[in-house]
Amino acid sequence: MGDNLFQIIFSAIKSRLVGFVAILRQWTSWNFISAKIVTGLRTFFFKLLDVKPKNKDDYYTIFGWMVSKRLAYAAIIIIGALSLWYVLSTLKVFERFGQDGGMRTYNYDSVLLRLASKRVRIRAAKGYIAYEGDVDKGAAEGNGVLYTPEGQVRYDGQFAKSRYEGAGKLNYDNGVLCYQGDFHNNLYEGSGVLYREDGTKEYEGSFSQGLKNGDGKLYDGGGNGIYTGSFAADHIVYSDLLDKAPEDIKVMYTGPTTLYQDGSGTGETVVYLRDIGVMYLGVGDSGALDDTIKSKAVYVLSDTYYAGTRQIKSISDLQSEFGNEVYEGNSVATLPEAIAINKTNERWRTANGRVDMQTSNIYTDDISVDSYDTDYSIYIHSYKKGDLVYSFVGGEGKQTFDFYYIMDSGDSEAA
């Protein structure tokens, strides 16, 4: 009896709810909702676009033209709807939030990127993520990471107006670290460390406008420090080696050396600093109480002179750089000039070829020059710049030089 009564009550309640459930299902159906929305929008726009004015109050007067108010409303709504569609299609609002804390992604040319702030991702024209980090008014500003099309990190550090600015790391195309340090306007500026593409350290010190400039330390291919001193426009300031004792130069240059001693008893010593391509002439200072040896000339074994970032290889360009010559003419090679000629001839033919020279080894890196061809002819162009004299050595009639050396102007007579 009790079970039958329960079934009767349940059936009565169910019959009452069937209609409500059906209505609820209908109103929660997306097809029904979308149909209602489309029908409503169609009715709204049909009424809106019924632009036939009924009286003069249905017009706006604009510059003497009568414009229907409904037509104006329709134009405003249509423009607004198109603008909203463009914004949503650019933003792709339903695809913006994923993992990584909901960081937004913008195309590089997105209008909304100009309004973005904080951390975002920027997609390049080719479709890859080119940047991830802080932005301000569409520009990289703050900390961020720049990527290559292959997904390698190109730069990781600070930005200002989409340029490298502040501390950062720059990588080669293969992802190996190229530079770590300070940047300004996309260039190395301040203190930093420069690396070779094989990962070994090349230089550590000061930079200016992307070049080694100021105090720094140079490293060989094995990562060993070889030279500590001043640099200008990416090159060693060779004049810093002048008038220094060998002990002081050993502190500056720690790479392999070869010592050439004049076997004739003049006391002249030429020291070759192999890893930086330089020699210096050591001469005893007769004015000193202990007859201290000092470097009196520095020989740069290069056929290029660097004036800032400018490379000079011709005599005419030297004249443009230095002005009038203080000496030009033939001369016979001195001992250091003869050694410099032979060193440069190890790489290419210079001057009139090698200088005949008889030597004997005291040690592997200590050589006695017993004699050499003192009639070997060279041609010299000398220029004065400040307190220094630069002498460029080559052959007579040549418009180029093979190497050059630097002396104090007080020693210019020896040039």
Per-residue pLDDT of the chain (415 residues; tens, 9 = 90+): 555 655 666 565 655 555 565 666 666 666 667 667 767 766 666 665 555 555 666 666 666 666 666 666 667 777 777 776 666 555 554 344 434 456 799 999 988 888 888 899 999 999 999 999 999 988 999 999 999 999 999 999 999 999 999 999 999 998 999 999 999 999 999 999 999 999 999 999 999 999 999 999 999 999 899 999 999 999 999 999 999 999 999 999 999 999 999 987 777 899 999 999 999 999 876 555 456 889 999 999 999 999 999 999 999 999 999 999 999 999 999 999 999 999 999 988 887 889 999 999 877 889 999 999 999 999 999 999 999 999 999 988 889 999 999 999 874 443 3
- Whether 173 maps to a domain, the answer reads yes
CATH number of the CATH domain containing 203: 2.20.110.10
Domain end marker among 174, 203, 236: 236
Residues 69 and 171 in one domain: no
Residues 269 and 409 in one domain: yes
- Whether 282 maps to a domain, the answer reads yes
Contacts of 386 (CB under 8 A, 6+ apart): 409
CA 298-304-305 angle, to 5 degrees, is 60
DSSP code for 356: P
Residues 114 and 213 in one domain: yes
Number of domains in the chain: 3
Residues 304 and 354 in one domain: yes
Residues 258 and 219 in one domain: no
Which structural domain range is residue 72 located in? Answer: 50-89
Residues 230 and 255 in one domain: no
Residues 114 and 232 in one domain: yes
Please state the pTM of the whole predicted model.
0.72
Residues 272 and 406 in one domain: yes
Residues 261 and 363 in one domain: yes
Taking the chain, what is the end-to-end CA distance rounded to the nearest angstrom? 133
Residues 299 and 224 in one domain: no
Domain end marker among 60, 89, 118: 89
Domain end marker among 191, 208, 236: 236
Residues 135 and 109 in one domain: yes
Strand 139-147: give its sheet, edge to edge.
104-107, 117-123, 129-136, 139-147, 153-160, 163-171, 177-184, 187-195, 201-208, 211-219, 225-232, 235-236
- Whether 362 maps to a domain, the answer reads yes
- Whether 81 maps to a domain, the answer reads yes
- Whether 56 maps to a domain, the answer reads yes
Residues 248 and 380 in one domain: yes
